[in-house]
Structure 1
Amino acid sequence: MRVLSVASECAPLVKTGGLADVVGALPAALADFGVDMRVMLPGYRPVMHLLNDAHVIWQDPALFGGAARVLEGRAGGLDVLIVDAPHLFDRPGGPYLDEDWRDWPDNIDRFAALCRAAEAIAAGQWHDWQPEIVHCHDWQAGLLPYFLKQSHVPVPSVLTVHNIAFNGSTAADAVRRLGLDAADFHPDGYEFWGQVSTLKAGLVWADAITTVSPTYAKELTTPQFGLGLEGVIRAREGDLTGILNGIDTETWDPSRDAHVVQFDTAEGKRRATRALKEELGLPPGEGPLAVVVSRLSAQKGLDLLLEALPGFLDRGGMLALLGSGEPALEQGWRDAARQHPGVAVRIGYDEALAHRMMAGGEAVLVPSRFEPCGLTQLYGLRYGAVPVVARTGGLADTVIHANAAALATGVATGIVHDPGSVAALSGALETLADLYADRDGWTSIIRRAMSHPVGWDGSAERYAALYRSLSSSRTE
């Protein structure tokens, strides 16, 4: 089965978050289930530099203000289709922001162009390979299901919502410029509070909707998590499926990871912990070393962790943090590192250090207020960094709380607490310190965590089944 995956980022070519990891991992995972997936991406500067064996498969002399073409080739070990439109994508800065961290003012147009190019490929403009399914990711590809229906292209579409907080809204005067039918600008169409929402367009017109965990799928039907789109999601609930993300277990393998002191047992992990403490200048200590690898934002709950931190340090705990984000939180964590010898902070992102944090960390903290799926806790499980997570989204679906029953039956893989509460987070950190003090019991939790399945096999099988069901419905 041929599937075109359309996204704004894809690891290892361009990445700002977990979306890229998912888009990059799916082709190999799905190949085992008979799916030939090609990834379509914008031709950002870094992507164009990585593209090999490219040839032109489609051209448009005037795509949103300039000449564009689609190149087919290889990059980062993937079969890719790249939208080469220099007037839209050949820019400094990142995929969405300029060098001063401001949104590109034409982002809606840029990703509408991506969708128009994908529409052409879905319609058979490349004769060598026509997709049977189009898989769209987040608001950046949200207009594609609408364009396919508008043009009567008989290729089913799947929309995956990775984070509904980003809905791709723009002013209503964009309707004509984007090539939308003004008759669809209404509450049951793509209109959202007087604006155009590209994500809502996808939610309304996609043939199937997925999101990245079963719990997040349920949460999205509520006002707290649906953020104004819960009505349309409830209306499409029969077409909504929550499919957990996985991780690349070859890239993230503690027994073969070139970035870390390699290990494959709970006992071997202690060497990695000692090495991380030495690297970060932390004291030897007797308490647990907790790590955070995260964007620094209120969504991630890292303001709550700052408040809960002193109590954890008083219990002998230590904390290492790697991340960047909101300036106030960056400063707060810098201050914490200056005030406490048991706290090490690195502002920025370093992929190799992220691996060493997972290898050396004895616990990984993910206190998010909401988390559609989360990958950090999966990396923690893989490397024996016991997850301490909020009970929300995919965090709730992937970590088995160490209550008395789970400990007695040997199934506990982490600690789960209520989201959005300093008191609940403080209690979870106390539980962490208590469990860590029982060295034999702690070793058992690490072993169970490291054996917990975190790869893509089960989820890839569910995606393949969804694609086939849509294809069968089309031919009936």
Structure 2
Amino acid sequence: MNVVLVSSEVFPFSKTGGLADVAGALPKALAENGLKVSVFSPLYKSIDKTNLSLLLNLNVDFNAQLIKTNIYHTLKDRCDFYFIENEAYFNRDHLYGIGAIDYEDNALRFGFFSKAVLEILKALKINPDIIHSNDWQSALINVYLKLFYKDIFAKTKTVFTIHNLGYQGIFDKSYINNLGLPWDVFTLDGLEFYDKVNFLKGGIVFADTVNTVSKTYAKEIQTSENGFGLDGLLKKFSYKLSGIVNGIDIDVWDPKSDKFIDYNFNNPKDKIKNKSALQKLLGLPIKEVPVFGIVSRLAAQKGMDIFSSSAKELLESNANVQFIILGSGEKDIEEQIAQLSSRYKDKVSLNLKFDEPLAHKIYASSDFFVMPSKYEPCGLGQMIAYRYGTLPIVRETGGLKDTVKNYSNRSKNPTGFVFEKYDVKELTKTIKKAIELFNKKDELLKIAQYVMSLDYSWKNQAKEYIKLYKKIYG
């Protein structure tokens, strides 16, 4: 089976979030299962071209002009990676925008990206069985394919994965002309959304099958609470909607060989050396206290608003804890946590940046990993935490509900802590339960050893995608 996977970011070449991790790891797992896999992504300014080879020059007919396009290629993990170079659209310091402000021409940037992928496939005579697009940035592939390329790719089927329904690619309706689309797709049954054009909606409507990144999230997005205005559409297309939990790359996240951590280990009792090394690195007192790690966008969606209030409450009550936070996001939340960091220098380390090595150190050194998300399509952090014997603290939503089993006196083989209500008091109560477990060393160690044995590799999850591909391809 010949699969083309299209993503606006792919690790290790480009990354802003979990989409990149999926787009980097899933192709490798598919190839290991015998599929032929090609990956398409933009060539951003941050990508080093020295290890890529220039494969093709192409003029793409887009926005009423022929746009000069260079295609670079490399082979990695038995997969072909193709990068689309266009100076005007992708030679920028950021992938989508600066902070929370998107680039004004994102409709053109990613409309062009979607059109260019199909033109490149045509030029290279690649005739895929499956085109697997991801999120709004590549959603128009499904639209362009059905409207303009169905004779060329007559047997090709399309899979569209929604990684986060909260981001839909909504633009002024005037872009219909710029995108080269006929106005008859601008209808309630097409791309129209409150008199604007909605890329994600187009991806859903025109795809042969749609999936999202956990079974629970597939149900949640069909409700008004979590549907972001598309719940009615998703109910209508529920017959082609499913959920597959993401996996993680267990070669990248491996405590036995992780090059970013100070001490490799296979037993959670040996984590203490990493904890001490991280405390020293970040200027925290080196002592055996419960360390709560966070690697996240500092946004309300990720529960960082209730976390900042909960942390403040715990610190003011003189709780003997340390919080290590890595990430950036909404300014008000950054400021709230910065105030705590300034006031409690010996208990809070705030690192407002993206830092891959530090992320690995936090997973390997923390006792608990905090993910109190308001909603969470899948979440990778809890599965990565397991690899390092770190217990997640999560809210019962989306993929977190599917992958974390709550610690209680009644539960067999618990894997972390789960709370239901999105509330500061509930989170604080749950963190206090984790502190209690920390003081029961033997029990904590037993659970940590168990979670390290869990298998959330792409090896298993890739098989679910292969089943999905075969189902629609026949």
TM-score range, shorter chain: over 0.9
**CA–CA distance in structure 2, aligned partners of residues 54 and 82 of structure 1:** 9
The corresponding residue for 2:335 is 331
**CA–CA distance in structure 2, aligned partners of residues 31 and 76 of structure 1:** 10
Deviations 1:277-301 (CA, angstroms, capped at 9, x unpaired):
2222222445311111111111111
**CA–CA distance in structure 2, aligned partners of residues 357 and 45 of structure 1:** 28
**Match 2:416 to one of 407, 414, 429:** 414
What secondary structure sits across from 1:69 in the alignment?
Answer: strand
**CA–CA distance in structure 1, aligned partners of residues 72 and 279 of structure 2:** 46
**CA–CA distance in structure 2, aligned partners of residues 25 and 424 of structure 1:** 35
What secondary structure sits across from 2:457 in the alignment?
Answer: coil
| Mapped contact 1:70–1:81 kept (Cα < 8 A) | no
**CA–CA distance in structure 2, aligned partners of residues 308 and 390 of structure 1:** 14
Which portions of structure 1, spanning 4 or more consecutive aligned residues, are displaced by more than 3 angstroms?
61-66, 75-78, 284-287, 310-315
Matching of residue 140 in structure 1 with residue 137 in structure 2: yes
Deviations 1:224-277 (CA, angstroms, capped at 9, x unpaired):
111100111111111111111111111110111111111110211121112222
**Match 1:438 to one of 426, 440, 445:** 440
TM (normalized to structure 1)?
A: 0.93
| Mapped contact 1:62–1:68 kept (Cα < 8 A) | no
The corresponding residue for 1:179 is 180
**CA–CA distance in structure 1, aligned partners of residues 470 and 195 of structure 2:** 37
Once the 2 structures are TM-superposed, how far is the Cα of residue 36 of structure 1 from its aligned partner?
1.4
The corresponding residue for 2:112 is 113
| Mapped contact 2:161–2:210 kept (Cα < 8 A) | yes
| Mapped contact 2:293–2:325 kept (Cα < 8 A) | yes
**CA–CA distance in structure 2, aligned partners of residues 237 and 471 of structure 1:** 19
What code does the residue aligned with 1:130 have? N
**CA–CA distance in structure 2, aligned partners of residues 62 and 145 of structure 1:** 16
| Mapped contact 2:246–2:461 kept (Cα < 8 A) | yes
Deviations 1:189-228 (CA, angstroms, capped at 9, x unpaired):
1111111101000111100001111111110100111110
- For residues 281-292 of structure 1, the aligned pairs below 5 Å read 281-292=283-294
Matching of residue 52 in structure 1 with residue 52 in structure 2: yes
Count of residue correspondences: 465
Deviations 1:395-428 (CA, angstroms, capped at 9, x unpaired):
111111112222xx3x111001125211110111
**CA–CA distance in structure 1, aligned partners of residues 393 and 251 of structure 2:** 24
What secondary structure sits across from 2:97 in the alignment?
Answer: coil
| Mapped contact 1:213–1:242 kept (Cα < 8 A) | yes
The corresponding residue for 2:23 is 23
Deviations 1:342-395 (CA, angstroms, capped at 9, x unpaired):
111111121111111111101000011011111111111111111001111111
**CA–CA distance in structure 2, aligned partners of residues 190 and 8 of structure 1:** 20
Once the 2 structures are TM-superposed, how far is the Cα of residue 53 of structure 1 from its aligned partner?
2.6
What secondary structure sits across from 1:226 in the alignment?
Answer: coil
Matching of residue 125 in structure 1 with residue 123 in structure 2: yes
**CA–CA distance in structure 2, aligned partners of residues 13 and 239 of structure 1:** 32
Kindly report the root-mean-square deviation, in angstroms, between the aligned alpha carbons of the 2 structures: 1.8
**CA–CA distance in structure 2, aligned partners of residues 466 and 54 of structure 1:** 34
The change in CA–CA distance for 1:64 and 1:35 in structure 2 (over 3 A counts) is farther
| Mapped contact 2:371–2:393 kept (Cα < 8 A) | yes
Matching of residue 205 in structure 1 with residue 203 in structure 2: no
**CA–CA distance in structure 2, aligned partners of residues 132 and 125 of structure 1:** 17
**CA–CA distance in structure 2, aligned partners of residues 252 and 185 of structure 1:** 44
| Mapped contact 1:60–1:67 kept (Cα < 8 A) | yes
Once the 2 structures are TM-superposed, how far is the Cα of residue 101 of structure 1 from its aligned partner?
6.4
- For residues 431-470 of structure 1, the aligned pairs below 5 Å read 431-470=433-472
**CA–CA distance in structure 1, aligned partners of residues 397 and 15 of structure 2:** 24
Once the 2 structures are TM-superposed, how far is the Cα of residue 335 of structure 1 from its aligned partner?
1.0
What code does the residue aligned with 1:458 have? N
The corresponding residue for 1:400 is 405
**CA–CA distance in structure 1, aligned partners of residues 142 and 48 of structure 2:** 26
- For residues 185-196 of structure 1, the aligned pairs below 5 Å read 185-196=186-197
Matching of residue 94 in structure 1 with residue 91 in structure 2: no
What code does the residue aligned with 2:123 have? Q
Deviations 1:5-30 (CA, angstroms, capped at 9, x unpaired):
11111011111111011001111111
**Match 2:392 to one of 387, 392, 405:** 387
**CA–CA distance in structure 2, aligned partners of residues 86 and 253 of structure 1:** 37
What code does the residue aligned with 2:59 have? Q
**CA–CA distance in structure 2, aligned partners of residues 419 and 457 of structure 1:** 34
**CA–CA distance in structure 1, aligned partners of residues 335 and 396 of structure 2:** 27
What code does the residue aligned with 1:384 have? G
Once the 2 structures are TM-superposed, how far is the Cα of residue 161 of structure 1 from its aligned partner?
0.3
What secondary structure sits across from 1:225 in the alignment?
Answer: coil
Matching of residue 356 in structure 1 with residue 361 in structure 2: yes
**CA–CA distance in structure 1, aligned partners of residues 64 and 44 of structure 2:** 16
Matching of residue 309 in structure 1 with residue 311 in structure 2: yes
The corresponding residue for 1:242 is 243
What secondary structure sits across from 2:301 in the alignment?
Answer: coil
| Mapped contact 2:63–2:178 kept (Cα < 8 A) | no
